[in-house]
Amino acid sequence: MTTHDNLPAAADHAQAIEQAASALPAHKPRRTDVDPRAARRAERQVALMFLGSAVMTVLFVVAFVAIPVDRSVYIWGFGSVNASNIALGVTFGLAIFLIGAGAIHWSKKLMNEKEEVQLRHSLASTEEDRQAAIEAFEDYSADSGFAQRPIIRRSLLTAMALFPIPLVVMLRDLGPLPGEALRETLWQPGSRIITDPTGRPIRPSDLALGGLISAMPADLPLVQEEEGNLNARAKAAIILVRMEPQEIVSQQGDNWDYGGILAFSKICTHVGCPIALYQQRTHHLLCPCHQSTFDLADSGNVVFGPAARRLPQLPITIDPEGFLVAKDGFAEPVGPSFWERGDA
Amino acid sequence: MKKRSRRRSLAAGLLMGGALVVVGSGYAVVSAETTPAPPAGTTSSVEQLQLGRQLFLEGCSSCHGLDGEGIAADNATGGNGGPSLIGVGEASVDFQVSTGRMPLAVPEAQAPRKDVLYSQDEIAALAAYVATLGPGPANPTEEELNLEGANIAEGGEIFRTNCTQCHNFAGSGGALTDGQYAPAITDATPKQIWQAMVTGPQQMPVFSNETITPEDKKNLIAYVESLKVEPNNGGLGLGRLGPVTEGLFVWTAGLFFLIAAAVWIGAKVR
């Protein structure tokens, strides 16, 4: 049985086509069909586009070889731009665009555009075919005894329902569980605080009132050198801000500041963007990604945005040499929430 | 009796006057010793201070008070709500006035950068006068602003750690809360960038010379200067704001081009 089986019989075929064609509006010839000059002009235009593409391809290679990558050029309306990038982009873009445009122009102006009629059979199967299919299904169903033997039917359905479970269980092996890694940072009691990225220890007097500085633990550069990744930095990054001690409404622990200097994790608790848009007058810290806003004068609580938890505070003090150090590690995991984190 | 008493009161008056002169001049000497000397590199002569005082009274005192003590915002008394200028230092005055932010045209969420109203000399005089009200951050020296030999790569690292979150990776600025914004710093001169760091204008935190040293500041400013002359390697910069303007451009200009091409392909030829 082929798809042509239910087309009209051959004798009717030509007649049906004629009938369909007569229902169409009369074919109007294009200018290029009746005027040889217009046709020649269209021919020239198409050829020009194809040749233009060829020229652009050659120019692309020339530009690639000839223009130094660091040469910049001033283009009106664009400003100062990289000459090589612009030349490569324009030539390559035009090379491919002109092939397409030429082909479209060719087909629209010169290729035969006379309407043609093709017959299509109806999409549905014939009534006999459908009846036969239903009969066959019922026959085979009765032969299998699927309906008469419920114990087989139910045990098969049970087996098939359980079968996907190993696939789900195997998901657990996709990678090691995070363990304690997400709860620990490099900060320990006595960790010295150094400026990021310049790596200098900080005295309390270094930070002006209303001041802000990004900081990291003193052992981070070494750890990063050994581990060769940025995981330790991603967890340990902090910011230090200084405000008048009486401006501090609340803190996450007693005397976790040092003379109005507060240390907070620099990692947003929403999805972990580094966060340091600090408005020194309102003491609000904004996340640039989704506008979560934390009030650093009030325990780093969320005042706006999608973050669900306050920004963890690092308790700080000074060491005998007078430099700022961590009094203790972070009391809670820093950064975004994770499955095993729990509510705390 | 009457005469004697008058003479006695005259003597008492003379004594009082003499005592006042002694105490006053003594206080002047003592306070001259405790008042910090004007920062090195500035020539705050008496005439300059007088000019500064004059300009201050004319242009600033209606909001900041006759002695820079500040005026509380109060509709009842018509107080304009200018903060105290005692201890803001010459760097702050120079920054605010040389960027046109002060004098303020209207009180709004944030003072915008606008045309400068004072000459260089007048700004210097104003700054010198306000610096006498209390010690505050000084202007950078010529040597500190000499960017020759600065480490642009390290400056870039400092910039990306401490500045990009507000001022954008290319210094194009960005939004804050309540109608406030971090301005583009591409119009700022090296001196103004330095002044902004040490004074923390408006919502900007202070980046003191101890946490970001003068050497760091020099590197950082050299990096910002390099951003200004860097060409847009991708073609149109679109304000160097990143995916927002780039996406908008593609969704308008790019989509318009695609629709125009589709219309052309489908149009019937006559």
Kindly state the tokens that stand for A180: 């304690």
Rounded Cα distance between B187 and B193, Å, is 10
DSSP letter for each residue of A132-161: HHHHHHHHHHHHHTTTT-HHHHHHHHHHHH
Looking at the fold, whether A82 and A207 belong to one and the same domain comes out as: no
Average pLDDT taken over every residue of chain B: 84
- Residue A102: pLDDT band (50, 70, 90) is very high
Domain-embedded: residue A136: no
Kindly state the tokens that stand for A257: 């500041």
Which chain A positions have a beta carbon within 8 Å of B198's beta carbon?
Answer: 208
Q: Do A207 and B235 touch (CB under 8 A)?
A: no
**Residue B40 pLDDT > 50:** no
pLDDT of B33 reads: 43
pLDDT of B18 reads: 61
**Residue B10 pLDDT > 80:** no
Domain containing residue A22? 13-109
Over residues A72-93, the mean pLDDT reads 90
Q: Do B205 and A212 touch (CB under 8 A)?
A: yes
- Taking CA–CA distances from A72, the nearest residue in chain B reads B231
Domain-embedded: residue A296: yes
pLDDT of A72 reads: 87
> Among residues A315, A342, A311, which one has the least CA distance to residue A330?
A315
Least trusted range by pLDDT, from A91-105, A134-148, A168-182: A168-182
Q: Do B270 and A210 touch (CB under 8 A)?
A: no
Is any Cβ of chain B less than 8 angstroms from the Cβ of A109? yes
Looking at the fold, whether A198 and A89 belong to one and the same domain comes out as: no
Length of chain A: 344
**Residue B49 pLDDT > 80:** yes
Over residues B76-82, the mean pLDDT reads 75
Q: Show which of A41, A75, A109 is a domain's final residue.
A: A109
Report yes or no: A269 and A290 within 8 Å, Cβ to Cβ. no
Over residues A135-154, the mean pLDDT reads 91
Mutate which of A30, A35, A214 to disrupt the B interface (most B C-beta within 10 Å)?
A214
Is any Cβ of chain B less than 8 angstroms from the Cβ of A132? no
- Residue B4: pLDDT band (50, 70, 90) is low
Rounded Cα distance between B143 and A47, Å, is 65
Q: Do A104 and B236 touch (CB under 8 A)?
A: no
Could you count the other beta carbons within 10 Å of the beta carbon of residue B189? Answer: 15
Is any Cβ of chain B less than 8 angstroms from the Cβ of A281? yes
Rounded Cα distance between A215 and A237, Å, is 6
Chain A to chain B, count of Cβ pairs less than 8 Å apart?
115
Over residues B195-202, the mean pLDDT reads 93
- Contact map slice: B 59-98 vs A, CB within 8 A: none
Looking at the fold, whether A197 and A311 belong to one and the same domain comes out as: yes
Over residues A58-80, the mean pLDDT reads 90
Domain-embedded: residue A183: no
* A132 vs A79 pLDDT, higher one: A132
Average pLDDT taken over every residue of chain A: 90
pLDDT of A9 reads: 61
Rounded Cα distance between B223 and B155, Å, is 5
How large a percentage of chain A has pLDDT more than 70? 96
E-assigned strands of B33-148? 73-74, 79-80
Q: What are the contacts of B60-66 at 24+ separation with CB within 8 A? A: B60/B85, B60/B102, B60/B103, B60/B126, B63/B104
Which chain A positions have a beta carbon within 8 Å of B265's beta carbon?
Answer: 104
pLDDT of B32 reads: 44
Is any Cβ of chain B less than 8 angstroms from the Cβ of A202? yes
Looking at the fold, whether A337 and A197 belong to one and the same domain comes out as: yes
Report the alpha-carbon angle B15-B19-B21, nearest 5. Answer: 120
Looking at the fold, whether A105 and A221 belong to one and the same domain comes out as: no
- Buried b / exposed e along B171-185 (16+ C-beta atoms within 10 A): bbbbebbeebbbbbb
Of B162, B203, B208, the CB nearest to A207: B208
Q: Show which of A88, A109, A130 is a domain's final residue.
A: A109
* A9 vs B138 pLDDT, higher one: B138
Kindly state the tokens that stand for A209: 């009132």
Domain-embedded: residue A293: yes
Over residues A112-129, the mean pLDDT reads 86
Domain tally, chain A: 2
Report helix, strand or coil for B21: helix
pLDDT of B196 reads: 95
Domain-embedded: residue A294: yes
**Whole-model pTM above 0.80?**
no
Looking at the fold, whether A218 and A85 belong to one and the same domain comes out as: no
E-assigned strands of chain B? 73-74, 79-80, 174-175, 181-182
DSSP letter for each residue of B140-158: PPTTTT--TT--HHHHHHH
- Contact map slice: A 19-38 vs B, CB within 8 A: 28, 30-32
Length of chain B: 270
**Residue A281 pLDDT > 70:** yes
Over residues A238-256, the mean pLDDT reads 93
- Residue B105: pLDDT band (50, 70, 90) is confident
pLDDT of B41 reads: 45
Q: DSSP class of residue B36?
A: P
Looking at the fold, whether A324 and A205 belong to one and the same domain comes out as: yes
Over residues A67-92, the mean pLDDT reads 89
Looking at the fold, whether A210 and A103 belong to one and the same domain comes out as: no
Looking at the fold, whether A217 and A97 belong to one and the same domain comes out as: no
**Residue A8 pLDDT > 80:** no
Domain-embedded: residue A117: no
Q: Cα distance from A280 to chain B (closest Cα, Å)?
A: 5
Q: Do A280 and B264 touch (CB under 8 A)?
A: no
Looking at the fold, whether A210 and A87 belong to one and the same domain comes out as: no
Domain-embedded: residue A164: no
Of A30, A206, A304, the CB nearest to B208: A206
Mutate which of B233, B240, B268 to disrupt the A interface (most A C-beta within 10 Å)?
B233
pLDDT of A182 reads: 87
Q: Show which of A56, A83, A109 is a domain's final residue.
A: A109
Report yes or no: B102 and B117 within 8 Å, Cβ to Cβ. no
Q: Please give the domain boundaries of chain B with CATH numbers for all domains.
A: 46-131 (1.10.760.10), 152-230 (1.10.760.10)
- Contact map slice: B 223-242 vs A, CB within 8 A: 229, 231-237
pLDDT of B44 reads: 59
Mutate which of B86, B154, B161 to disrupt the A interface (most A C-beta within 10 Å)?
B161
Looking at the fold, whether A92 and A201 belong to one and the same domain comes out as: no
Domain-embedded: residue A156: no
- Residue A321: pLDDT band (50, 70, 90) is very high
Sheet holding A277-279, edge to edge: A277-279, A284-286, A293-295, A301-304
Report yes or no: A285 and A311 within 8 Å, Cβ to Cβ. yes
Rounded Cα distance between B103 and A80, Å, is 35
Report helix, strand or coil for B215: helix
Is any Cβ of chain A less than 8 angstroms from the Cβ of B177? yes
Q: Do B211 and A197 touch (CB under 8 A)?
A: no
